[in-house]
Amino acid sequence: MAYFTVKKPDILFGFIGHNKGKIVNINLKFNYLTNIQRGETDLFRTVHIIPCENPYEKMWDSFLYFESEPTTKQFLFRIYEHTHHKKGMVYAFQNTSKFIYYVKQARQYYIAAVNSDILVRPLLLYYGMVSLLKAYVLTQDPDYPSHSKVLQHGVTSRKIKKSRYSFAEEEVKIQKEGLLPYVHSFLSKETLSDKYLIQDLLSLIPELQLAYQKLYNKSSLINVSLSSDYDFRHQTTVFYLPDRILDAAHLTYTSFIHYINRFNEGSSFVSASSHKAPHGLVCFEWTHPSGNHVAENGNGFENSLFTQDYKGNFYFKINNEKKLHEITNHYIVMYVLGMLCRYETERWGEIIFSFASEDMYIIHEFLTVSCRKFPNLLYDLLLGERHIFQAT
């Protein structure tokens, strides 16, 4: 049995404080069963805020749960007994060592990446991602890999780059078979597009928004400000957006609320608020049948127009045309960087070491963000719960 202190956040216009903490009992051996029974592997039941001195180290320390044979075998058995009733124990026994080595190998790739020069870092991070994804796939398909085609990357980019190469304008094509489409089939019901533009993918990553705005002179995400006021009579969360969002969407306040609710993916909904909004902001209310504050809800707003960074802050998507799971997003971008690093070494060196490339800035930012966030996303996915490792 494991225990963490989870504190309800008070967030007012982007600043986070804390009320009196409450103890939440977390049983790592049973928590994920609800999602498996429902077949909703991309849903999270709750949020755990974990105060620590070094969030990155604490995150990887948490993976030690999956590097012990007894706990891993029980973890896999609890999954397989609900998906492969008669062979649950057989599959758990068969895959325990494989799962552990995937996790241990991923850890070593990430350790090496952190301590390496940027000249080789993308390649190490990419294969660290691959190892973590293989561990996840093993929980969904106990016979993985059942054939060689699922071992392919699942994505391709131009083999010979143009003389005036732009990372942001790189076009990536998705293959019908391989690791990427196979992982995505477990993560989302949305069909993958045939191709993606790197700049579009970068625009969807919350932690990159400031760099994205500086480099491309446009915004793709808007900060959501959550009010610390909590109405215990109606149990709603009050939140604010800049009023310019209404002009950008060419919608009235009421029509904009209807627009938001079109993208609901759960039982929550957004409604008009009677609270007076500060100048330059518009105010809304978010309601969930459970009565949870949105910051305590495992799936956040339960709406595809909203996304979240690894610190728990929410963002609103200005354009929702590209619906892509963030794990898939990080994989595609890192694949392109990894292949540049491996097969286009001279060009890669020119990008990161010369003063002529505008790509260098956002590449550095992405590598830093992905190194911190991707393992966190996989850890959450394996346990079916969000974990925010918060520096104290």
pLDDT, one tens digit per residue, over 99-144 is: 999 999 999 999 999 999 999 999 999 999 999 999 999 999 999 9
Residue among 252, 247, 227, 223 nearest 238 (CA): 227
- Residue 262 per-residue DSSP state: T
Query: 270 exposed, middle or buried (CB, 10 Å; 0-12, 13-18, 19+)?
Result: buried
Domain boundaries, the chain: 31-213+325-391, 221-317
Q: Is the pLDDT of residue 67 over 70?
A: yes
CA distance 215 to 213: 6
16-31 in b/e burial notation, b at 16+ Cβ within 10 A?
beeeeeeeeebebeee
Block residue for tokens 């309601």: 287
For residues 31 and 162, give the distance between their C-alpha atoms in angstroms, rounded to a whole number: 49
- 237-282 pLDDT, tens digit per residue, is 999 999 999 998 999 999 999 999 999 998 899 999 988 899 999 9
Q: pTM value? A: 0.87
Indicate the Cα dihedral angle 209, 211, 217, 221, nearest 10°: 0
Measured over the CA atoms of residue 8, residue 328, residue 200 and residue 194, the dihedral's sign is negative
Output the pLDDT for position 162. Answer: 64
Report CA-CA distances (Å) from 205 to 9, 220, 358: 23, 9, 19
| 198 backbone dihedrals φ, ψ, rounded to 5° | -55, -40
Q: Band of the pLDDT at 86, cuts 50, 70, 90?
A: confident
The CA distances from residue 99 to 104, 185, 336, in Å, are 9, 20, 26
Task: Tell me the three state secondary structure of residue 93.
Answer: helix
Q: What is the mean pLDDT of residues 335-361?
A: 90
> Which residue from 252, 241, 262, 257 is spatially nearest to 320, judged by alpha carbons?
262
